[in-house]
């Protein structure tokens, strides 16, 4: 009983959230912030990069790229540490 | 060891894959692409070679400690370039306007000017070194660990 009440309450909350987001959606074609216009207009003067995506990835949001590179480096290190075969060590079958 | 068709096809396809990956890396600040994408394409040739020729033969060509050294140098180069702009802020584009990759393009599309970007192409190359060596080392280490002894010849 209490489980059913919990499930239906969760579904009702999710439905209300979906309806609210559908009603409050901003009109198509109007950007929600001025940041994208700023980047499109100024990235070529500020970073000298023709590719705006590269300018965002490596300059405006460099921290994000640093985190991605760190994640990949850690993954590679962990895989090598787990799977390495030392010299002279017979692999177990 | 796989059949002769697979080996010959891999021999023909691998240079094209390497060239495309290199193009994505070093042209990434002008057209679409970049260090991550080009590095993944470049490293997929290592997976192709492992599938076609077996991991032991590839691992004599690409040794693990060298791959780890390349990956570390790429990561260090990236962080060094990020710290190089520390006079202003972290990740400040130091080389925009300087002789090294320093052309500042006019507003609008101008794809013919590739000597642009400041630190962005250098960071592309650094991230690509990191990604290429890391992914190749992952593929190679897992392929070497799962090989059956005596079954590879």
pLDDT value at B74 more than 70: yes
pLDDT at B90: 85
Cβ contacts of A50 on chain B, cutoff 8 Å = 29-30, 105, 109-111, 113, 116-117
Give the residue-averaged pLDDT of B106-124.
84
pLDDT tens digit string along A45-70? 888 888 888 888 888 888 899 999 99
Give the distance from residue B50's alpha carbon to the nearest chain A alpha carbon, in angstroms. 16
The complex's ipTM works out to 0.82
pLDDT at A86: 61
Output the pLDDT for position B73: 94
Contact: A83, B93; criterion CB under 8 Å: no
Q: Which residues of A touch B56 (CB under 8 A)?
A: none
Please, which residues 18-47 of chain B have a Cβ atom closer than 8 Å to chain A?
A: 28-32, 34, 36
Question: What integer pLDDT is reported at residue B1 of this predicted model?
Answer: 64
The residue of B56, B84, B111, B127 whose CB has the most chain A CBs within 10 angstroms, and thus the best one to mutate to test that interface, is B127
Is the C-alpha dihedral spanning A57, A58, A59, A63 positive or negative? positive
Show Cβ contacts of residue B3 under 8 Å, excluding neighbours closer than 6 positions: none
CB B135 within 8 Å of CB B50 = no
Rounded distance, CA A35 to CA A26, Å?
Answer: 16
For the whole model, what pTM was predicted? 0.81
How near does any CA of chain A get to the CA of B5, in Å? 30
At B20 the pLDDT is: 94
Q: Which pLDDT value is given to residue B102?
A: 79
Mean pLDDT, range A3-28, rounded to an integer:
92
Q: How far is A82 from chain B (nearest CA, A)?
A: 9
In chain B, residues 67-126 whose CB comes closer than 8 Å to chain A: 68, 71-72, 75, 78-79, 82, 90-91, 93, 96-97, 101-107, 109-111, 113, 116-120, 123-124
Q: What is the pLDDT of residues A64-88, one digit of tens each?
A: 999 999 999 999 999 988 887 665 5
Query: Is there a contact between A80 and B141 if contact means CB atoms under 8 Å apart?
Result: yes
The Cα–Cα gap between B7 and A90 comes to 29
**B149 — pLDDT class (breaks 50, 70, 90):** low
- The percentage of chain A sitting over the pLDDT mark of 90, rounded to a whole number, equals 35
Q: What is the pLDDT of residues B15-37, one digit of tens each?
A: 999 999 999 999 988 888 888 99
> What residues does each domain of chain A span?
2-83
- The angle, 0 to 180 degrees and rounded to 10, between the axes of the packed helices A62-83 and B64-84 is 160
- Given this model, what pLDDT does residue A9 score? 96
What angle is formed at CA A26 by the lines to CA A20 and CA A30, rounded to 5 degrees?
170
The predicted structure's pLDDT at residue A88: 53
Identify the band that residue B114 occupies on the pLDDT scale cut at 50, 70 and 90: confident
Q: CB B29 to CB A49 under 8 A?
A: yes
What is the per-residue pLDDT for B25?
93
Q: Across chain B, what does the average pLDDT equal? A: 87
Contact yes or no for A62 and B82 at CB 8 A: yes
Taking the CA of residue A86 and the nearest CA in chain B, the distance in Å comes to 11
Q: Quote the minimal CA–CA distance from A35 to chain B in Å.
A: 17
| Chain mean pLDDT for chain A | 85
């Amino acid at each position: 009983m209490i489980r059913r009440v919990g499930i239906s309450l969760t579904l009702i909350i999710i439905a209300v959230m979906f309806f609210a987001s559908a009603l409050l959606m901003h009109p198509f074609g109007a950007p929600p912030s001025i940041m994208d216009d700023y980047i499109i207009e100024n990235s070529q003067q500020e970073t000298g990069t023709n590719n705006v995506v590269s300018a965002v990835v490596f300059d405006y949001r460099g921290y994000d790229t640093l985190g991605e590179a760190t994640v990949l480096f850690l993954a590679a290190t962990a895989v090598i540490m787990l799977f390495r075969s030392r010299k002279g060590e017979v692999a177990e079958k | 060891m796989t059949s002769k068709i697979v080996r010959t096809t891999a021999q023909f396809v691998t240079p094209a894959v390497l060239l495309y990956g290199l193009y994505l890396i070093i042209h990434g600040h002008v057209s679409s692409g970049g260090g991550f994408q080009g590095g993944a394409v470049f490293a997929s040739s290592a997976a192709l070679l492992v599938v076609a020729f077996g991991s032991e033969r590839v691992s004599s060509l690409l040794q693990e400690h060298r791959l780890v050294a390349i990956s570390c140098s790429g990561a260090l180069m990236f962080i060094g370039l990020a710290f190089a702009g520390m006079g202003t802020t972290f990740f400040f584009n130091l080389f925009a306007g300087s002789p090294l990759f320093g052309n500042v393009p006019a507003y609008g599309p101008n794809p013919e000017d590739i000597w642009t970007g400041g630190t962005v192409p250098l960071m592309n190359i650094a991230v690509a070194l990191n990604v290429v060596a890391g992914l190749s080392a992952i593929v190679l280490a897992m392929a070497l660990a799962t090989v059956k002894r005596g079954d590879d010849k």
